[in-house]
Structure 1
Amino acid sequence: MEPSDGELVVAAQAGDAQSLAVLLMRHRAAMHAVATAVMAAGPDVEDVVQDASLVAIADVGRIRDPSLARAWLTGITRNLARARLRRREPLPMDLTDIPSAEDLERRLDEAALRDWVWEAIGGLSEPLHDVVVLRYFSSAPSYDAIAAALGVPVGTVRSRLHDARAALVARLRALELAAADDHSRVSQARELLFAAIVEEYNGGYEPALLANALAEGARLTVATSAEVFVGREAIIRSLAEDLEAGVRLRLLRVVAGAGLTVVEGAFQNPADAPDHCPPFTTQVYRHRGEEIVSLHLAYSSGAANFSARPGHQ
């Protein structure tokens, strides 16, 4: 039996870094969905999710009710996404309560994760190490302040922080793979399922795989419409227009979480109807066991800097 969120939080607060990694992996899809809902699909979404993960690593000791870990993580993500949307730089802690370096040290000690965090940071190259320490552990974390402290351009600070986040998240993902084999299997199964659904769709066939995955009372909602489609047959009929028009979908990313899958794709419209669908879609599927109980479709007309996974061309 998988541990509950509460059990993972308690273990993480006692110093188990793998429990924290599993917790973040479990709710990564929900965090991704929240960031996308605030900012729309685009390359900044992944940066916000990574920033939120780093905030959680440093601040897990502040969770008062371990059973509310999902709400805590999505709340951090939402705050950071809104801050970035307002063109204000995301801060490493609660946006209304920026801690001093001493306070942050105390929190890390209380969470018993200090050694793991600093071990990960210590493995960074000197330029990356320096910007991370100033960004997340000083009392002046703004890009301008870091640039002044290090005597480098602001653009250099931004690029080094981007590289540092990627390196730290790679370390976190290594822990996730070591501690979350069950989730890895779920992720692989979901990727295979939605790749097969998209392949069937692109073949112009009736979407039997999707129909079989839907619960009898599943609900479909669309961001641009107040209409709700209820039931397997109604949902399949609602997709028939795009299918008959010759619209195709290129699968860009599948993000799986507990009871949630986020699917991102790029539409390819037929030559005689180039504006039939917006360029990009983010689709949120909610699961109950093996069945899909709801799906919400959102669309974006802006350019997105996505990279398709191998085989999803």
Structure 2
Amino acid sequence: MTCVTARPAGKIDLVDPQEVELVRSAQAGDVSALGTLLARHQAGMRAVALSVLGFGPDAEDAVQDAALTAVRRIGTLRDPAAAGPWLRAVVRNACRLRLRAARRVVPVADPRPPADPATPERILEDHVSRDWIGHAIDRLSPALRQVVLLRHFSDVTSYDQIAAACELPVGTVRSRLNQARAKLSEALLATADEAYDDTAARNAASAREATDTLTAARRGAFATVVADRWSPAMRMTSGQGYRGGVDLAVRGMDLDLAHGVRQKLVHAVTSRDCTVWEMEMISPPDDPHHCPPALVWLMSHREGRVDRLRLFFPAVSAGRTAGASAG
């Protein structure tokens, strides 16, 4: 289950000159351009992670892994117009690595990372982004900075070696590296907000739209909102097996409200052609298990209007075979 952004067979997406320029600038070492590129596609990347791993920290970690992979490998992207599919593929690969790791017993000692011409050391030596990487690492706490420097910028690379060098349990080393990765990923995305204020403003506007949509629904005006903001040809699918159009979406919302079910926005992120709204589902007091605890709206846009909606229930999906996806 993933956000539908592909066009019908025989049609080709128009090339976005601004995006092509962002990719070229990022490949030349402009980290703010890379941060902006990631911010533009964050919703699509997040949708892929949620569809493969379900709602939770693993999905967040996979998106963060993908962001840091983009720092190392943006130079390998041959077609600047294909940044979106490339980033989503990077997220999907990160998710699959996590699924494979969960299926096997992971030894305490991990091998040295394979040789990679785009290692952090190489970036520091040869890439214009070396100043950003250095400053980002400097902003980490001393405890996190120490394990990052050992892991990525020394010959002491295995968790066992780092644990011995720092006199820490191996589990603590893993935890600190995870925290460092998250902070570096956040710093990378923050460069987009610093250079392009519209990124944060766009996500805030999407959050307001989600809240306004839920408020309108509670007062019986959901159909009006849908008519104003969604395409009449919008197609909807649901993790519960429902398929239909605008009428199904309106009936479903009205039926939930009639049963006392409420939704509360938890998080909103949007890009040029994809939006993710993460909702808390609140069951009626007399039927506390009426609905799953969470719901994700995965929406794609065309010409400024919602043309695809996938309602995704993470708790339900977690009980199914991981990795299955549908367009």
TM band (smaller chain): 0.7 to 0.9
- CA–CA separation in structure 2 for the residues paired with 1:290 and 1:263: 17
Q: Which residue of 1 aligns with 2:273?
A: 259
SS at match of 1:99: coil
208-217 or 10-19, which moves further after superposition? 208-217
Q: Which residue of 2 aligns with 1:233?
A: 247
Q: Which residue of 2 aligns with 1:168?
A: 184
Q: Which residue of 2 aligns with 1:32?
A: 46
SS at match of 2:290: coil
Residue-pair matches, total: 294
The answer as to 2:294 corresponding to 1:280 is yes
Paired residue type of 2:298: V
177-186 or 216-225, which moves further after superposition? 177-186
Q: Which residue of 2 aligns with 1:150?
A: 166
The answer as to 2:85 corresponding to 1:71 is yes
Q: Which residue of 1 aligns with 2:26?
A: 12
- 1:208 equivalent among 216, 224, 230: 224
SS at match of 1:294: strand
Q: Which residue of 2 aligns with 1:45?
A: 59
* Percentage of identical aligned residues: 39
Q: Which residue of 1 aligns with 2:6?
A: none
- CA–CA separation in structure 2 for the residues paired with 1:8 and 1:134: 32
Paired residue type of 2:204: Q
Give ranges in structure 2 of 5+ residues lacking alignment.
Answer: 1-15, 107-112, 319-327
CA contact (8 A) 2:233 2:307 kept: yes
The answer as to 2:235 corresponding to 1:219 is yes
- 1:198 equivalent among 214, 232, 246: 214
212-221 or 271-280, which moves further after superposition? 271-280
Paired residue type of 1:246: G
The answer as to 2:267 corresponding to 1:250 is no
- CA–CA separation in structure 2 for the residues paired with 1:159 and 1:173: 21
CA contact (8 A) 1:246 1:270 kept: yes
CA contact (8 A) 2:235 2:244 kept: yes
- 1:130 equivalent among 146, 149, 152: 146
TM-fit CA distance, 1:253: 0.7
TM-fit CA distance, 1:119: 2.7
153-162 or 250-259, which moves further after superposition? 153-162
Q: Which residue of 2 aligns with 1:56?
A: 70
TM-fit CA distance, 1:103: 5.3
Q: Which residue of 2 aligns with 1:308?
A: none
CA contact (8 A) 2:55 2:315 kept: no
The TM-score with structure 1 as length reference comes to 0.83
- CA–CA separation in structure 2 for the residues paired with 1:200 and 1:129: 47
**Compared with structure 1, are the counterparts of its residues 151 and 193 closer, same or farther at alpha carbon in structure 2 (3 Å cutoff)?**
same
Q: Which residue of 1 aligns with 2:323?
A: none
SS at match of 2:29: coil
**Compared with structure 1, are the counterparts of its residues 167 and 104 closer, same or farther at alpha carbon in structure 2 (3 Å cutoff)?**
closer
SS at match of 1:87: helix
Q: Which residue of 2 aligns with 1:93?
A: none
Q: Deviations over 1:252-273 (max 9, x none)?
A: 1111122111011111111343
- CA–CA separation in structure 2 for the residues paired with 1:186 and 1:86: 35
**Compared with structure 1, are the counterparts of its residues 110 and 207 closer, same or farther at alpha carbon in structure 2 (3 Å cutoff)?**
farther
Q: Deviations over 1:113-162 (max 9, x none)?
A: 22322232233333212222344456775544532443311222133223
The TM-score with structure 2 as length reference comes to 0.79
TM-fit CA distance, 1:18: 1.0
- CA–CA separation in structure 2 for the residues paired with 1:33 and 1:290: 19
SS at match of 1:15: coil
CA contact (8 A) 1:27 1:257 kept: yes
**Compared with structure 1, are the counterparts of its residues 123 and 162 closer, same or farther at alpha carbon in structure 2 (3 Å cutoff)?**
same
Q: Which residue of 2 aligns with 1:94?
A: none
**Compared with structure 1, are the counterparts of its residues 98 and 5 closer, same or farther at alpha carbon in structure 2 (3 Å cutoff)?**
farther
SS at match of 2:78: coil
**Compared with structure 1, are the counterparts of its residues 206 and 23 closer, same or farther at alpha carbon in structure 2 (3 Å cutoff)?**
closer
TM-fit CA distance, 1:186: 2.1
SS at match of 1:199: helix
TM-fit CA distance, 1:239: 2.8
Q: Which residue of 2 aligns with 1:309?
A: none
SS at match of 1:27: helix
